[in-house]
Chain A
Amino acid sequence: MSVIDQISVKVSAVRQVAPMIKEFSLEAIDAELVPFSPGAHVVVTMAGAENEPTYRNAYSLMSNPQDNSQYRIAVRLQEDSRGGSLFMHHQIAVGDQLMISPPANLFAPEWMAKKHVLFAGGVGITPFLSYLPELQQRESEFELHYMFRSKQTGAYSDELSETLDKNCNNYDADKGSRCDIAAVMAEQPLGTHFYVCGPQSLIDSVRATADEMGIPASAVHWEEFAGAKPGQPFVVELSRSGIELAVASDSSLLETLEGADIEIPNLCRAGVCGQCVCKVAEGEVEHRDSYLSEPEKQSGQVMMPCVSRAAGERLVLDI
């Protein structure tokens, strides 16, 4: 994804939709926004002031996919944020400009499914908000299981239970209500597909439950929105240009490369899409992606710089 593809947008509304979640409406400035497919996301570029780092985060589009007058995203303030969500929460107001990538989709519904079961944790509700108009329009059978803590998250839970009625099940952990994932999954008919978006622990537990029950792995879909986690600082050398860069512990390798104006294609920034793959010339890699196969990881010849890091102090990339 090169810089040319970027769309400049203006923030037209900001809403606090839960104690820790803000919703942003984005309108195009000079172009028209394109319709997108349910489950799509955009990468938002947040250019800080002079000498401030630029952040890029992927956010699911939560507005109606047919509505091209605006896109909406919801951002949860992350306590251990490396910057992006803090920036959105504290620096962005109505009228501000942002750059976004065109929508890309790595989490589309499987329309062959006989039934869709959606598990959302906290701000993980967002991709499902773009599913709902189409699920309803197609009269697909579905149920939503929405887990949150009303003291922090839980945006849209009232509207959802009102409009979806018994298709929506809310679980507010702050009121002691928990979702029995195994019980939900055990009841489902042949042809059901499961979708999970939320914290890693929720994704892991849905996948583990499916595996234990003998539910086919290909019927379980998930979206990780965690992005890069911090790690040890290291030095990266680019063998073709001889450039050397220091990767700080709270920056990803991809962000460091972008900071030096080296554009690497990327769609998800979470180690799932495969776009950002780089060739490794030297050095051990700590693989953290879910894209490369085990043999590819072991070969040590390729890596996904959006999430993976050096295992040692130095890495040489063949770029």
Chain B
Amino acid sequence: MQTEQLNGVVSKPAYSPVILNPKSRFHLFIAEQAVTGEMQSLFDGCGVEKEIAVYSDASDSRLLESLAAIPLTGTLYLAGTEPFIWRVASHARQAGLRPDQIRMMAPVSRERHLFCCHCYQITEGVTYSPFICSGCGLSLEVTDHFARLHSAYFGYQANAEDCSDMPEKREVS
């Protein structure tokens, strides 16, 4: 029952199609690894001052500098995996951007980061549940509770009461 209840907590982000903010005077496009087709066409369609850049690390110092340089009337567009775009978004908010200045495209993969509530380790590349925690080795139930601060989904021991009773493996979307 517990499982269902926790999984009933749906804070899984929903992504709607991204459009340009017609009011903005400056547009910054950031992609992880490679510019996606969707981002490229947005960029091409943008007629005012704009910049586009690719990073592999969401905390790259040049990326942080360019976030801090966005004007009050600017808009930030993000493409990449879910952990990447949320981490950049969190740096952007630190820099002073408002949530309505940040537009995220649907993640390019369904791989999740999984936060272990027992050892606080984050396990990457999670596609099914339960999943073995890379920190403490426990088998974790992967919930749909997304922690924006950690850009990761909340995970807890799947068979805490009875270790012979392991829930069936299922894909997470």
Which residues of A come within 8 Å of B, CB atoms? 112-114, 188-192, 211-219
Contact = CB atoms under 8 A, between A and B. Distances in A.
A190 B23 contact: no
Nearest to B96: A191
Contacts of B71: 189-190
A112 to B, nearest CB: 8
B23 A212 contact: yes
Given A190-B70, A211-B23, A216 B95 contact: no
B100 A215 contact: no
7 contacts: A112-B93, A190-B68, A190-B74, A213-B73, A214-B25, A215-B72, A216-B97
A211 B98 CA distance: 14
A217 B25 contact: no
A212 B25 CA distance: 10
B100 A216 contact: yes
A211 B100 CA distance: 12
Nearest to A190: B96
A190 B95 contact: yes
A216 to B, nearest CB: 4
A94 B96 CA distance: 47
A126 to B, nearest CB: 27
B24 interface: yes
Interface in B60-83: 68, 70-75
Contacts of B75: 214
Contacts of A215: 72-73
A92 B114 CA distance: 63
Chain B interface helix/strand/loop/mixed:
loop
A114 B73 CA distance: 15
Contacts of B7: none
Interface of B: 21, 23-25, 68, 70-75, 93, 95-101
B21 A214 contact: yes
Most buried by B among A113, A211, A213: A213
Nearest to A110: B98
B121 to A, nearest CB: 29
Contacts of A189: 71-72, 96
Given A190-B68, A190-B95, A216-B97, 12 more contacts: A189-B71, A189-B96, A190-B70, A190-B96, A191-B96, A213-B73, A214-B21, A215-B72, A215-B73, A217-B100, A218-B100, A219-B72
Given A190-B70, A212-B23, A114 B96 contact: yes
Most buried by B among A190, A191, A211, A218: A190
Most buried by B among A192, A212, A214, A217: A214
Contact of A216 (B25, B68, B101): B101
A216 B98 contact: yes
Most buried by A among B21, B25, B98, B101: B98
B72 A192 contact: yes
A218 B98 CA distance: 7
Contacts of A217: 100
A217 B100 CA distance: 8
A214 B23 contact: yes
Contacts of A219: 72, 98
B1 to A, nearest CB: 34
A54 B40 CA distance: 63
A219 B23 CA distance: 15
Nearest to B24: A214
